[in-house]
Amino acid sequence: MNIDWTHFTPWSSLSGGIILGVASALFILINGRVLGISGILGGLLPPKAGDTIWRLAFLAGMFAAPWIFTTLAPPEFVTAPQIDADTVMLVIAGLLVGLGTRYGSGCTSGHGVCGLSRMSPRSLVATISFMAAGFLTVYIVRHLF
């Protein structure tokens, strides 16, 4: 195994995980809802009266956060990710993720962070499935192609 030490960021990953966990806990305590992105986005289709504004505000905050970070953070903290795929591949990947979240009744954030913390058996099965599919995909891409 070869670790890319340049992009290995255990402390920022740990702090990001803690922030996500705290945000998820606060969201469910304050709103009584699970902080799953696919559920929040999916709840807009079709929109329900009285349930749209907070969903749009959440999604706007999610899209605004990177822009705010790059504007306020020192330049040495801002690094652009390198994506080795063309636009068509990214669109196909996005559609497959969306399809998977519909079939899986939620996304990795909903099941992995919120569902496991609530000890949901369905979320445990979903998270194991997500991880197994990820492991298998990496193995196939790295060793068979």
Parse the chain into domains and list their residue ranges: 10-143
Round to whole Å and give the CA distance between 5 and 71: 26
pLDDT of residue 139: 93
Given a contact cutoff of 8 angstroms between Cβ atoms, the answer to whether 43 and 24 are in contact is no
pLDDT > 70? residue 102 = yes
Task: Give kind and range of the element (H or E) at residue 18.
Answer: helix 10-31
Lowest-pLDDT choice from 30-34, 42-46, 56-60, 77-81: 77-81
Q: What is the mean pLDDT of the chain?
A: 88
pLDDT > 90? residue 136 = yes
pLDDT > 70? residue 66 = yes
When comparing pLDDT for 79 and 63, which is higher?
63
Round to whole Å and give the CA distance between 48 and 43: 8
Cα-Cα-Cα-Cα dihedral of 125, 131, 135, 137, to 10°? 90
- The CA-to-CA distance between both ends of the chain, in Å, stands at 17
pLDDT > 80? residue 7 = no
pLDDT of residue 1: 64
Q: Mean of the pLDDT values across residues 30-44?
A: 86
